[in-house]
Each structure stands twice: as structure tokens, then as C-alpha cells.
Structure 1
């Protein structure tokens, strides 16, 4: 019975960890602390941000800013032509999943707010492509700080020192938090059950 329980706990732990790695996603709160607001400088907030398939963007806004519309084209986005939208978000807190690659355009339903900068375009990349770009940026940053890294160890005698964490390190994802929360609990249970 104890051997079967050990196998069961091992299978659940492995499945949980595999799901965590495969299901990693980032939740982007548009505008940061200020949310979807004319004063939050959405363009500056989105600059340099990587959006990947599987991520979610959160819009938190007041009705004074207008509703949020998803537009069909770059032309409509640049002109703040919100009359021919694809979808309208009206809840005040809207979560938009990024399910496919490509460019998506969002704007305030009020043209005057859109013209003041209350709009967002999102370039959604594939998971692998975004990770490759993040690794390249990290390597470039390490070279500018004087830290060289390599994946090859020629004779097994020495390796480069691990890089120090930087301010550009990606934040923990929701699944990472769940892993950090529930893994110790699972291990605790497996200790007492077995």
C-alpha cells in the first residue's frame, strides 16, 4: 500500500511540475499601477515588453476613460477610428487571452482619449521565439556589464560564474507562484502519508 501511495504522489508531483513548466504565462496589467488611464503613458509602459502566446493582458479602467475596443487594422489604430471595432470590453476589469501570434490593436472607445495616447498595440510572439529573444538580450546585457557566459565547457575543469540577477529578469508567473506554494505542501503530505 505504501509503495502504491509513493508512486501516486510521485506521478502527481511530476504532472504538476510538467504543467507548471509547459503552462508558464505572464499576466500583463496594462499601464501598471495606474491601469488603463490617459496619465499612465501606455506607450512607455508597453515599450520593450514581450507578449507571448498564452499570456494574458489585463485592462483595469474606469468608465470615465470609456470602454475598450479591439480594432481591426493599424490604420484604424493610428487614426483612432473606433467606429468599426472587432470587440468591445465593458467590465472595468477585462482579461484578454493572447491565444495566437500576430498584432492586436486596442483603444479607448472615446476618440479623444485614444488621441491622447490611450491605445495599445500588442505584437504577440510564439513562445520559443520570445524566449530566444529574451536569451539574446540577456547575453547582450551580460557582455555590456563585463560578464561573459557560455553554454560550452571545453574540458570540464571550469565554467563561467553564474550571472547575477538583473532588474530585467522576468517576474514570476502565476504558475510559478502556485508551484512555490503547493510543492512544499505536497512534499509535506507525501512525508506523512508514506
Structure 2
């Protein structure tokens, strides 16, 4: 178990390093401190959030108890049809890059959790562009904001892994 924790900690540290180097992208951590879990109010978490091309969505969960699927369309999302996903993740800490405009649909890989509301749809808007067509630079405070979010993500990953190591 300790080796698993060490490997997960190293992965989380690598994620933090990546976050610190991508100061312009917004890092959305689904469910905040609850993570990707049926106890999270994912619908409330999305209120007032704007997702843009170039942003990343992070899903943190116990890999032993949960998984993540990206679904193809609204119908599959609404009906919790998990039979034909675009992709499935079981890592416990997954990053989804928002690399194009449009709507993306995510669900728990467990049918019962999807039906309980553990699913997320994201409308991805165009990235910020100034009138001359050049991408707008992030405000000076964004680097420290990303640093705080990255630190927060690290603590979430540590907490999830500690819960797996020490029941």
C-alpha cells in the first residue's frame, strides 16, 4: 500500500508542476473538496463556472470505488447509457483538456451513481481573444491563483490516497 501512495503522490506532484506552468488555462477541480463523488453536488458546482477552450477539468476520486466516462451525446448523458463511452478512466486523478468548443458529457462509470446524479455536462466556450485576434494574457494575479488551485489539488490527491492507505 505504501508503494501505491508513493506513486500517487509522485503523480500528484507532477500534476502540480504542470499546473504551475500553464498559468493561462483555468484548472477546474470537479466537486472541489468532495471530488468526483456521489456526495458532491456536481450540478451546483457548475453554477457560474465558465469553461473555455484551453482550460482543464480535473476529476479526483477513489480509483477503487469510482471511475469516469465521457459519453458521446446528450441522450446517453440523460439516460445514463454507459454502453458506448468515448473514453473511460480509472486512475483516480484524471485531467480532461478542453481542446475544442462544444458540449462534453461525463458520467460516473457506475450506473447507480450516474442515476444518483454523478454526471457533468460542460459547455466549452471559445478561449479569450482580444480584438486584434491575439490571445489575451492572464492578469498578474492569475499565476498565484493557479498556484493556490494547484496546491489545493495536491491536498485533495493526498487526502484521497491517505483514505485508501489508512481506512
SS at match of 1:40: coil
Partner Cα separation in structure 1 for residue 50 and residue 110 of structure 2: 27
Q: Give 1:67 shift.
A: 1.0
Q: Is the 8 A contact 1:77 1:105 kept in 2?
A: yes
Inter-partner Cα distance in structure 2 for 1:113 and 1:179: 30
Asked whether 1:101 is paired with 2:101, we answer: yes
Question: Which has the larger helix fraction?
Answer: 1
Output one character per residue of 1:58-101: Cα deviation in whole Å (capped at 9) or x when no partner.
00011354210000010000000111100011110001110110
Using the size of structure 2 for normalisation, the TM-score is 0.64
Change (3 A) 1:127 1:82: same
Q: Which runs of 5+ in 1 are unaligned?
A: 1-21, 132-169, 181-194
Task: Give unpaired runs (5+ residues) of structure 2.
Answer: 1-21, 131-138, 148-167
Structure 1 residue runs of 4 or more that deviate by more than 2 Å after TM superposition: 63-66, 177-180
The aligned residue for residue 32 of structure 2 is 32
Change (3 A) 1:39 1:126: same
Question: Where do 1:1-194 residues align within 5 Å?
Answer: 24-63=24-63, 65-128=65-128, 173=142, 176-177=143-144
How many residue pairs match? The answer is 118
Cα deviation, residue 128, structure 1: 3.2
How far 1:24 sits from its partner (Å)? 1.0
Aligned-residue RMSD, C-alpha:
2.7
Contact 1:54 1:97 in 2 (8 A): yes
In the superposition, the TM-score normalised over structure 1's length comes to 0.55
Contact 2:26–2:146 (8 Å) recurs in 1: no
